[in-house]
A and B are shown apart, each in its own frame.
Chain A
Amino acid sequence: MKKDIILAGVGGQGILSIAACIGLAALEEGLHLKQAEVHGMSQRGGAVQSNLRLSSDEIASDLIPEGKADLIIAIEPMESLRYLPLLQENGWIISSINPYNNINNYPDIELILTEIWKQPKYITIDADGMAKDCGSIKAANMIVLGAAAPFLGLKPESIEKGVIKLFQSKGDAVVELNLAALKAGRDYALKNM
């Protein structure tokens, strides 16, 4: 099995947490993984991206070759489009629809979503809204992870274990919130595939 995943968003949105969850889940299943990330932009509202590679075989390059990514998982809709050159022909885009507008020429969100809807395979999700329904907008990244879960090639229990491991130091309430968000995202994706 191999899954090459691009994680995308803006600094501070919790992309690296998603990567960490998936990483822990992959380790749980004894898979090889490599996760390359961009440091430093997280404090400064810049575009953040991580190359996450899972495989049953040894992985060579830390960077995903162009046209080979299986998935783009994006917490920010415009950012999902930035990595199209890396996505394979029939790759999936899983993206939140909530714009992070911190530049003075941010395009119309309708145009962005229309561009995503042109792609062959996508799931767009109101991560902020659904996170609020679960109890906190801070769980928006877990909503997106949940929506991506059916496409990761990992067992649902592994991903849940990853979430638990990542957040257990923050207490039961936080773990429960994130598991609920994970489930909500996943249910949405299964319904809208």
Chain B
Amino acid sequence: MEKLLLLGDEAIAQAAIDAGMSGIYAYPGTPSTEIMEYVQASKEAKEKNIRSLWSANEKTAMETALGMSYAGKRALVCMKHVGLNVAADAFVNAAITGANGGLVIIAADDPSMHSSQNEQDSRFYGKFAFVPMLEPANQQEAYDMMYYAFDLSEKMQVPVLVRITTRLAHSRTGVARKPSKNQNELHLPGNLRQFVLLPSIARKQYRELLGKQSQLEAEAATSGFNTYIDAADKSLGIIACGLAYNYLVENFPRHKVPHPILKVGQYPVPLDMVNKLYSECDSVLVLEDGYPILEELLRGMLNKGKKVMGRLDGTLPRDGELNPNLVAIALNMPVEKGKSIPELVKNRPPKLCDGCSHSDAFLALNEAILEYGRGRVFSDIGCYTLSALEPLESINSCVDMGASITMAIGAADAGLVPAVAAIGDSTFTHSGITGLLDAVNNNSPITVLILDNSTTGMTGGQTSSAYGKVEDICRGVGVSEEHIHVIKPLRKYHDENIEIIRKELAYQGVSVIIPRRECIQTLNRKIRQKAKAKELEAKA
């Protein structure tokens, strides 16, 4: 069968379509964004009437998928690792309600934080919620595992977590497809109170969930996604999870490693397989492209057993992604070293595009805030976070989605008045509305800049849930009309914009200023698409 050239993300998307998914819900987040984008661009998905929605945030996405699962159909939720923090309440409790239609959650982790605030390992969440997890080592496995995940979810009646990392999500190779399956029919759970987590019901179902764990382990032992590869040199045994397996075999001709390997792709990891490796080998090296989760378990609190090597004993670096060289060093193998980077090579960090509306907005804010002194601008996650860098150096915090407004409230309560919050439109509807409500109820002397470029920009310009609704939401939450201003962030309005900001900074209550101008990237894209459409029309 002809192979498709697909990114890891795309392989997952195609597999979900082939496996009979009925709905996909997500919030943009690198490196997971391309999964939804692939489905939205897919003709096949359209023909199959697969529902798709860029949700307001990962929690609403998770809950929407849970609702589809309740109704008996297969649903997929996609997010980056920190997105799972936002979805956690729904995720953990979805394990206790259980699934009706297959329910799969993709968490795309980012070891080395290429574009994130941390490198948290989503496998922790799988363990925390007692759900089975799949961790592919390559794009074909990503496809195969996704194809299998819905079946596993329906067989065991639990949600399934699939964990990938950046280097798989954004790497492309040939992938073979499997036959297309039909979607499920609408069918309700046999027990119409299965999803009601009153304590009396939840206690019973939690015990059932705990009771399923040995069966989940048995599934992991027989699915083919955990493999024991025996070899002669038992002075060392190696446990390699997900991508780490590739980095291991890369170092050996014909990928033949002289030591026994337990290649882990499904959790809970079958204890028999771990035990076989541990008992037959003198020492164990644990390779994980993430936190040392298995390593820590194997080592135990007191580290009194056989020698276990990994991140915790310095064999591998404590943080950051793995790569073939780090694994070679861990194995005491010689490593090639290329030449070092010449000193004259300078950093080229990402910056705001030429003509970005955020530049104009922050230039005005910088000037308006001069009389109060710097250090009072709490910001959020988006392209505008780049204003922290030179030449703007406008902001002083960026922690998690929506934290700008709420941190400003706390700082103002401490006496830092005025406090300013700078948040994007998509981030605002993601988790800024509740913060603004707090600010109004607290009558905080804060000025909130909602930087409205009418898109979710940093992740590639996906539709923003906020579109056309920002002012109404602010009014609805109780910000008074005379303290809501829409301004145009352009050089020619620079002076009047500074004046408006200055006035609102002086006001001892909640102000919202909305610098609104469409993102030039999405604007250019629209112009190009319009031109292309006109060209095709003319030809027809």
Contacts and interface: CB of A to CB of B under 8 A. Distances in A.
Interface stretch (B190-198, B344-352, B476-484, B493-501): B344-352
Can you list the 3 inter-chain pairs with the closest CB atoms, starting with the nearest? A67-B336, A46-B350, A44-B350
Interface in A52-102: 57-63, 65-69, 78-79, 81-82, 84-88, 102
A5 interface: no
5 contacts: A32-B173, A44-B351, A45-B351, A61-B323, A66-B337
A38 B345 CA distance: 19
B458 to A, nearest CB: 7
A23 interface: yes
Nearest to A39: B170
Q: How large is the interface on A (under 10, 10 to 19, 20 to 34, 35 or more residues)?
A: 35 or more
Contacts of A51: 171
Given A62-B171, A65-B323, A84 B342 contact: yes
Contact of A40 (B30, B254, B323): B30
B338 A38 contact: no
A87 B249 CA distance: 20
A135 interface: no
B2 to A, nearest CB: 10
A127 B145 CA distance: 44
A37 B171 CA distance: 6
B529 to A, nearest CB: 13
B112 to A, nearest CB: 11
Interface string B459-470: 110000000000
Contacts of B170: 36-39
Given A61-B247, A67-B338, A85-B338, A103 B348 contact: yes
Interface string B379-419: 00001001000100000000000000000000000000000
B296 interface: no
A142 interface: no
A102 B348 contact: yes
A60 to B, nearest CB: 4
A151 interface: no
Nearest to B535: A171
Contacts, number: 141
A78 B341 CA distance: 10
Interface of A: 10-11, 23, 27, 32-41, 43-47, 51, 57-63, 65-69, 78-79, 81-82, 84-88, 102-107, 111-112, 115
Given A45-B348, A84-B341, A107-B346, A36 B171 contact: yes
A37 B247 CA distance: 17
B325 A66 contact: yes
B31 interface: yes
Contact of B345 (A62, A78, A86): A78
A60 B172 contact: no
A69 B338 CA distance: 9
Contacts of A68: 336
A110 to B, nearest CB: 11
Contacts of B171: 34-37, 51, 62
